[in-house]
């Protein structure tokens, strides 16, 4: 008698997901709507960004008669003579060498000094200790001061706006009469254009005819008029205060939207269990709105890091409040150094990109949920 044995069948391969015809049509329709937006975004944002990065590797200026040269990373870091002494007709940097009383030109491509009068390389050692120096954006003290101002402005303003936004959002989320009117009123500062609100606050903070000084003087809180936006010790704080007034409604709106998405059953269960309000906030509310809160802080921080209009209107090019964007504008427009200003803009873009990536990783921010 023979015994029939059966061998186990091989494991079935995982079936590929079947995409229905309707799903394919929806995907094609989605791309049809997205492609025009992506093209416009590439033209409006992508091309200027690429152009700015390209200009940062040149010595482009606003002077029409001066040809543009490719200088590599010299706008970021450069060791050599004063960059302002470059003379295209000489093909290098003009240097007056005092010990010899000679006119020299440093040609970086050859790595040599040339005697202008004799039109030949010098035959002696040139002491470069008083001629060469480190230059460029990375060793510019004004740039680092503007970077510090920007980071300080961002950290303080976003922290205050988040705290106030959370308090106001939880207040507006409560059931009370006139809640709709209060929500509309809170959004008024955010709805006002930044230029308009900055100019308005500039008048209010004026040391001669500003209403802030008038109120404080009438209340006896100050004995003399204060130049809020001109005093080095108060100018940055004044700018931060105006920014908090302006953009706290933005944080309130985002946090309020997150609060209204929370399930009411959780709070009913907490009420039945007799959990205290503070523990309800820390154990239920805050964890549930945490993803939305991280996204709101990210958006606000990105906006603060590139702040320009508010600071420029209130304090112009003051070193005490200058942001990285104001620095880049000053170099490109006021000083005409387009290449150097583009380098500042490029470095600002890189700083924002890196900080945004670190925040998303640290806060576990996800945009697909």
Could you tell me if residue 14 is inside a domain? no
Same domain, 251 and 351: yes
Q: Tell me: the pLDDT tens digits for 69-102?
A: 888 999 999 998 888 888 888 888 888 887 778 8
Could you tell me if residue 36 is inside a domain? no
Counting residues of the chain whose pLDDT is more than 90, the rounded percentage is: 50
Tokens of 205: 């903070």
| Residue 114 near residue 121 (C-beta atoms within 8 A) | yes
Same domain, 126 and 151: no
User: Whole-angstrom Cα distance, residue 245 to residue 241?
Assistant: 6
User: Whole-angstrom Cα distance, residue 239 to residue 75?
Assistant: 30
DSSP string, 37-68: HHHHHIIIIIHHHHHHHHHTTB---S-TTSPP
Of 92, 112, 135, which residue sits at a domain end? 135
Q: Which residues contact 332 (CB under 8 A, 6 or more apart)?
A: 338, 340, 341, 342, 345
Same domain, 219 and 201: yes
What predicted TM-score, i.e. pTM, was given to this entire model? 0.85
Structure-token match 């308005």, residue found: 200
Looking at per-residue pLDDT, the higher value among 12 and 39 belongs to: 39
Could you tell me which of 209, 210, 217, 208 has the C-alpha nearest to residue 242?
Answer: 210
User: Whole-angstrom Cα distance, residue 250 to residue 240?
Assistant: 15
User: Whole-angstrom Cα distance, residue 242 to residue 315?
Assistant: 12
Looking at per-residue pLDDT, the higher value among 363 and 245 belongs to: 245
Same domain, 100 and 209: no
For residue 170, pLDDT over 80 is answered with: yes
Tokens of 149: 């101002």
User: Whole-angstrom Cα distance, residue 283 to residue 262?
Assistant: 13
Average pLDDT, the chain: 87
When divided into structural domains, the chain yields a total of: 2
Could you tell me if residue 143 is inside a domain? yes
Q: Residue 343 is part of a domain; what is its CATH number?
A: 1.10.3720.10
Of 110, 135, 160, which residue sits at a domain end? 135
Could you tell me if residue 50 is inside a domain? no
The 8-class DSSP code of residue 275 comes to -
Same domain, 266 and 121: no
Could you tell me if residue 3 is inside a domain? no
Of 93, 116, 135, which residue sits at a domain end? 135
Stretch 329-333: mean pLDDT, rounded? 94
Could you tell me which of 335, 301, 333, 308 has the C-alpha nearest to residue 322?
Answer: 308
Residue 268: CB atoms within 10 Å: 10
Same domain, 129 and 153: no
Same domain, 181 and 325: yes
Could you tell me if residue 6 is inside a domain? no
Stretch 197-211: mean pLDDT, rounded? 93
Range of the domain at 201: 139-362
User: Whole-angstrom Cα distance, residue 88 to residue 332?
Assistant: 21
pLDDT band at 2 (very low <50, low <70, confident <90, very high): very low
pLDDT band at 19 (very low <50, low <70, confident <90, very high): low
Same domain, 94 and 174: no
Could you tell me which of 93, 162, 155 has the C-alpha nearest to residue 128?
Answer: 93
Could you tell me if residue 256 is inside a domain? yes
pLDDT at res. 17: 61
Same domain, 297 and 331: yes
Same domain, 124 and 151: no
Could you tell me if residue 105 is inside a domain? yes
pLDDT band at 196 (very low <50, low <70, confident <90, very high): very high
Same domain, 128 and 145: no
Same domain, 340 and 241: yes
Stretch 293-303: mean pLDDT, rounded? 92
For residue 1, pLDDT over 50 is answered with: no
């Amino acid at each position: 008698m023979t015994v029939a044995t059966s061998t186990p069948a091989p494991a079935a391969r995982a079936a590929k997901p079947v995409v229905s015809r309707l799903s394919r049509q929806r995907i094609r329709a989605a791309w049809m709507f997205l492609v025009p937006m992506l093209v416009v975004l590439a033209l409006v944002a992508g091309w200027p960004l690429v152009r700015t990065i390209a200009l940062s590797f040149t010595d482009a200026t606003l002077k029409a008669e001066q040809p543009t040269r490719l200088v590599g990373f010299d706008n970021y870091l450069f060791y050599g003579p004063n960059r302002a002494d470059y003379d295209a007709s000489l093909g290098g940097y003009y240097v007056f060498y005092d010990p010899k009383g000679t006119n020299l030109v440093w040609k970086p491509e050859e790595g040599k000094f040339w005697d202008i009068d004799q039109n030949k390389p010098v035959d002696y050692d040139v002491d470069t200790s008083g001629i060469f120096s480190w230059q460029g954006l990375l060793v510019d003290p004004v740039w680092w001061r503007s970077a510090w101002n920007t980071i300080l402005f961002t950290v303080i303003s976003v922290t205050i706006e988040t705290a106030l936004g959370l308090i106001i959002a939880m207040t507006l989320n409560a059931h009370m009469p006139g809640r709709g009117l209060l929500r509309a009123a809170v959004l008024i500062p955010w709805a006002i254009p930044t230029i308009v609100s900055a100019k308005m606050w500039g008048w209010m903070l004026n040391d001669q005819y500003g209403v802030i000084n008038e109120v404080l003087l009438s209340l006896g809180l100050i004995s003399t008029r204060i130049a809020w936006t001109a005093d080095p010790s108060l100018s940055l704080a004044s700018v931060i205060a105006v920014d908090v007034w302006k953009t706290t409604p933005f944080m309130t709106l985002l946090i309020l939207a997150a609060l209204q998405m929370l399930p009411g059953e959780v709070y009913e269960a907490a009420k039945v269990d007799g959990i205290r309000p503070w523990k309800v906030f820390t154990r239920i509310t805050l964890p549930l709105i945490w993803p939305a809160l991280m996204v709101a802080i990210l958006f606000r921080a990105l906006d603060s890091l590139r702040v320009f209009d508010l600071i420029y209107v209130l304090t112009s090019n003051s070193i005490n409040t200058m942001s990285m964007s104001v620095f880049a504008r000053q170099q490109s427009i006021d000083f005409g150094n387009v290449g150097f200003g583009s380098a500042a803009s490029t470095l600002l873009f890189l700083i924002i990109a890196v900080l945004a990536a670190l925040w998303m990783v640290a806060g576990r921010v996800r945009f697909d949920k």
